[in-house]
């Protein structure tokens, strides 16, 4: 809550975590470009970025991914944030063919405050995040004590995941 001219107004900024992934056309550069786009979006403040990780693909046979996570503050609704993320994916030539197939850029909303929602377009928390080391390891790099709406922390969930084959690529945190 903030005070202005004796009036109390609600703080409408949400604390959001997103997952970034790429396994085509210079994945590390794809993630850097996406982060630059996010940083210049109105109504989005980039708060923290994890290190980058090389991760074995889950799904059909395809090249390894580069994965990372970012913490944002935003006044956008979840649906408007998804619109912005999908337009950044389009700017970077994302073509949707095979489910879980290779992609230049995937931007997923992982957590949006403590929101739990399951609509046709948007499921929050991201439905598969709790069992995926390629999501949890970057998140733990930002904040291992971050709690999901289920009450478990990122580090507790990570303890039940295999991190085999995952390699830290670079120190990106800022
Ligand atoms: N959608 C629903 N909830 C969300 C959300 N929380 N965030 C809908 C973003 N989108 C959400 O997504 C399909 C639809 O999901 C969207 O139109 C949106 O309305 P998409 O990005 O077009 O397709 P996708 O990413 O192929 O589908 P999906 O099911 O989200 O895939 P995943 O689960 O993200 O898996 N292996 C490694 N190592 N690293 C990876 O990053 N990624 C995937 C994709 C597979 N294997 C991987 C990785
Ligand atoms: Mg996706």
The upper half-sphere exposure of residue 8, i.e. CA atoms within 13 Å in the direction of its Cβ, equals 1
Predicted local confidence at residue 12, as pLDDT: 86
Out of 15, 33, 51, 94, which one is annotated catalytic?
94
| pLDDT (0 to 100) of residue 63 | 93
**What is the predicted pLDDT for the residue at 9?**
45
Write out residues in the chain with pLDDT < 50, as ranges. Answer: 1-9, 174
Which atom of ligand 1 has the smallest separation from the CA of 89?
21
Report CA(55)–ligand 1 centroid distance (Å): 16
Q: Give the domain 14-168 fold.
A: Alpha-Beta Plaits (3.30.70)
pLDDT at site 96 = 66
- pLDDT for 7: 46
pLDDT value for 69: 98
Nearest CA to ligand 1 atom 10: 108
Domain boundaries, the chain: 14-168
| pLDDT attached to residue 152 | 97
Residues 6 or more apart from 85 whose CB is under 8 A from it?
Answer: 18, 107, 108, 109
Tens of pLDDT, residue by residue over 132-143, are 999 999 999 999
Predicted confidence at residue 93, as pLDDT, reads 82
- Residue 15 annotated in active site: no
The catalytic position among 106, 121, 128, 145 is 106
Please give the Cα distance from 13 to 108 (Å, whole number): 19
Q: Which of 108, 118, 128, 145 is catalytic?
A: 108
pLDDT of residue 103: 80
Known catalytic residue: 84?
no
């Amino acid at each position: 809550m903030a005070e202005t001219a004796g009036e109390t107004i609600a703080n409408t900024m949400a604390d959001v975590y997103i997952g970034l992934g790429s396994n085509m056309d210079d994945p590390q550069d794809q993630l850097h470009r996406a982060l630059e786009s996010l940083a210049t979006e109105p109504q989005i403040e980039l708060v923290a970025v994890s290190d980058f990780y090389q991760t074995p693909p889950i799904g059909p046979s395809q090249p390894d991914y580069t994965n990372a996570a970012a913490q944002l503050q935003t006044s956008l609704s979840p649906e408007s944030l998804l619109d912005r993320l999908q337009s950044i994916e389009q700017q970077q030539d994302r073509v949707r063919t095979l489910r879980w197939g290779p992609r230049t850029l995937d931007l997923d909303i992982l957590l949006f405050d403590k929101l739990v929602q399951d609509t046709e377009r948007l499921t929050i928390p991201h439905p598969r995040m709790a069992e995926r080391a390629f999501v949890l390891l970057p998140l733990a790099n930002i904040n291992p004590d971050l709690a999901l709406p289920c009450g478990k922390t990122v580090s507790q969930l990570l303890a039940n995941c295999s991190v085999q084959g995952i390699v830290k690529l670079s120190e990106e945190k800022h």
